[in-house]
Chain A
Amino acid sequence: MHIAEGYLPPAHAAAWAVASAPFVVHGVRALTREVRSNPESTLLLGASGAFTFVLSALKIPSVTGSCSHPTGTGLGAILFRPPIMAVLGTITLLFQALLLAHGGLTTLGANVFSMAIVGPWAGFGTYWLLRRFGAPLMVAVFFGAFAADLSTYCVTSVQLALAFPDPGTGFAGALAKFGSIFALTQIPLAVSEGLLTVLVMRLLTQSSKGELLRLGVLSKVTGKDKGAGRAGASGEEKEAAAR
């Protein structure tokens, strides 16, 4: 959930923007270095960002019968790494605010902190740890996406609780209040996003092994299983496999 425009008091909005700035600046430097040393990566990064934007516009069924949007941060962080996701996530949030009226500009810093910084780092950290301990790819992907989604909403709860402490019990009460509201909807949604991410990754390992090898998601060893030679497959063949 994006924090809506004007929801945070000015001091909080400014503080979250300041907190996000170092991560975004670090990501911008990493991206600039990458583009300067490898100019054609501009297009690849742009495509990655567009994919993140489109992913966040998809609607996933939730347990209540209504729909919600995946954050896409887990899959994005696994595919493109958290520093790059900080920049791509910031641009995506800016586009969402201006093109879809999701989120806002005064709350951009807070939304960037939860969705483009904490979510990707938590998701990637979980994925990386599980892979280090020998977990299968899809298990690591599920928990990575689950952790990214859930951590995003935990941080959002903290941001809201700090901005609007409970009249009786202060920050702790407000955190319990916002946290329990989110928990009702977001734990099932985090599970849904984890499952969706696994399904997407399964299709990608079949249809886009070349790209996954290039992005470092699959190692050369993992990429040896059937279909590894399809790295140079045409777009039509890849789409047919993905369908």
Chain B
Amino acid sequence: MRRTPPTWARPRPGAPGLPGKRVLPIDAAAHAGRWRHRHPVEKAVLGFGLTLSAVCLPAWPGAPLVGAATLAVLLGPAGVAPRLLWRAFRLPLGFCVTGAIPLLFQVGGAAGAVSLAPDGPVHAGQLLLRTSAASLGVLLFAFTTPVSDVLPRLVRAGVPAPVVDVALVMYRIGFLLLDTVAKVRQAQAARLGQASRAAAWRSLAGLGAIAFVRSFDRAARLQEGLAGRGYDGTLRVLVPEAALSRRFLAATGALLAALVAATLVLKGLLS
């Protein structure tokens, strides 16, 4: 029996209904990353500090400085592969570009129904710089910190334990479901489920229904398994031990302070 569908029947990576060739490569990279065993707080302070700097500092020259520093950390000490980073970054970059285009135009006024805005290119450029730098900051955190390291620690940060438990189950089942959906999609394509537009819609609806059935079925089976182990409503998971590094935090503080100072000095010089 043929295990892999023939080439003609395999769905294209971008075809409707298929989440992608590799499911969640950012989280996979975070698990295998150089900073995997660092404390999540360290990486959160660095990543979100850079993101906040990009958002709060003047876009010019703040955003290019923050973006360059974030890129240097990502490709340098954090050891993220450039190709992987580009594949992850191009999506938010696309949103940034399409989001900046409307700022180029103005509606109404003496120039007509739609005309070029006087400061449109400047505003659009600043927005593009700011969103790109801020996106890199979040990617720095995402590429170095698996979500499974963050969730159990949220209880200590004050998030109610039931919410964290639900998020943990979502995270665990989410991967299985994405995998299932990709396989079902492949099976549908092998059975000409994408041969016509009508068939594609039927297949897509089937995918949604399968995801629902599978998620509830898995929850029921998980419930039975946990009940057999004395489940009392709390999901206990092992959290990898990691000590907070004062050196890392101090270096992060120094980097953020240097970025703020450089931005303000450069802005003064340039204006």
Contact = CB atoms under 8 A, between A and B. Distances in A.
A128 B52 CA distance: 41
A5 B209 contact: no
Contact of A6 (B17, B131, B177, B227): B131
A28 interface: yes
Contacts of B222: 43
B215 A5 contact: no
B211 A55 contact: yes
B204 A104 contact: no
Contacts of A18: none
Given A10-B56, A177-B105, A242-B209, A43 B219 contact: yes
Interface string A16-44: 00000000000010011001100110111
A61 B204 CA distance: 10
A36 B162 contact: yes
Contacts, number: 276
* Chain A interface main SS type: helix
B109 A4 contact: no
Contact of A58 (B91, B168, B181): B181
Interface of B: 14-19, 24, 26-27, 48, 51-52, 54-56, 88-89, 91-92, 95-96, 99, 102-103, 105-109, 111, 117-120, 123, 127, 130-135, 137-139, 141-142, 147, 160, 162-163, 165-174, 177-178, 181, 197, 200-202, 204-223, 226-227, 231-233, 235
Contacts of B197: 61
Contacts of B89: 101
Contacts of A9: 55
A166 B111 CA distance: 14
A43 B26 contact: no
Nearest to A202: B205
A243 B206 contact: yes
A83 B221 CA distance: 26
Contacts of A67: 14-16
Contacts of A158: none
A51 B211 contact: yes
B139 A43 contact: no
A48 B226 CA distance: 18
B94 to A, nearest CB: 9
Nearest to B208: A200
A195 interface: yes
B166 A49 contact: yes
A60 B208 CA distance: 11
B51 A5 contact: yes
Q: How large is the interface on A (under 10, 10 to 19, 20 to 34, 35 or more residues)?
A: 35 or more
B170 A239 contact: no
Interface string A155-186: 00000100010111100011011100100000
Contacts of A58: 17, 19, 181, 204, 207-208
A4 to B, nearest CB: 4
A135 interface: no
A45 interface: yes
Interface string A88-105: 100110010111111011
B131 A4 contact: yes
B55 A6 contact: yes
Given A6-B134, A58-B17, A95-B170, A43 B223 contact: yes
A158 to B, nearest CB: 14
Contacts of A208: 209, 212-213, 216
Nearest to A2: B95
A220 interface: no
A99 B205 contact: no
A106 interface: yes
Contacts of A88: 166, 170
A199 interface: yes
Most chain A beta-carbon neighbours within 10 Å: one of B177, B218, B219, B227:
B219
Contacts of B15: 59, 67
Contacts of A178: 102
A218 to B, nearest CB: 14
B223 A6 contact: no
Given A59-B16, A99-B147, A239 B213 contact: yes
B107 A174 contact: yes
Given A46-B166, A100-B26, A5 B134 contact: yes
Most chain A beta-carbon neighbours within 10 Å: one of B48, B165, B170:
B170
A238 interface: yes
A35 B235 CA distance: 12
